[in-house]
Amino acid sequence: MKKSVILGALTVAACAAGAAGAATLDDVKARGKLNCGTNTGLVGFAAPDANGDWQGFDVAVCRAVAAAVLGDSSAVEFVPTTGKTRFTALASGEIDMLVRNTTWTFSRDVDLKFTFVGVNYYDGQGFMVPKALGVSSAKELDGATVCIQTGTTTELNLADFFRVNNITYEPVPIETNEQAQQQYLAGACDVYTTDASGLAATRATFEDPTAHVVLPEIISKEPLGPLVRHGDDEWADIVRWTLNALIAAEEYGVTSANIDELAAAPTTNPEINRLLGTEGGLGEMLGLPADWAVKAIKAGGNYGELFEKYIGQNTPIGLARGLNAQWTDGGLMYAPPFR
Partner 1 sequence: MSGTHAHSAAFVRDRMIPQEPPPDRSIGALGWLRQNLFSSWLNAALTLVSLALIGALLAAVLPWVVHSSWTANSLSECREQIKAAYGPEESGACWAVIRERWSQLIFGFYPSEIYWRPILAFGTALGGLAPVLFPGVPRRALYLTAAAPFLVPWLLWGGTVWLPVAVAFGFVLGYAGFRVVAPWAGGILGAIAAGLVPVLWWLLLAGKAAGGLQEILPLGIEPVSSRNFGGFMLSITIGLTAITLSLPIGILLALGRQSRMFIVKVICVGVIEFVRGVPLITLLFVAWLLLNYFMPPNTNFDIILRVIIMVTLFASAYVAEVIRGGLAALPRGQYEAADALGLDYWKAQRLIVMPQALKISIPGIVSTFIGVFKDTTLVSIIGLLDPVGFSNSIRADVNWNGIVWELYGFIALMFFIFCFSMSRYSMYLERRLRTGHR
Q: Which residues bind partner 1 (CB under 8 A)?
A: 1-13, 16-17, 19-21, 27, 39-50, 52, 55-56, 77-82, 84-85, 88-89, 91-94, 176, 178, 181-182, 201-202, 204-207, 315-317
Shortest Å, Cβ 271 to partner 1: 35
166 or 176: whose CB is closer to partner 1? 176
Shortest Å, Cβ 14 to partner 1: 8
Shortest Å, Cβ 136 to partner 1: 26
86 or 295: whose CB is closer to partner 1? 86
Shortest Å, Cβ 244 to partner 1: 27
138 or 147: whose CB is closer to partner 1? 147
162 or 192: whose CB is closer to partner 1? 192
85 or 103: whose CB is closer to partner 1? 85
Q: How far apart are the first and last CA of the chain?
A: 58
Shortest Å, Cβ 124 to partner 1: 21
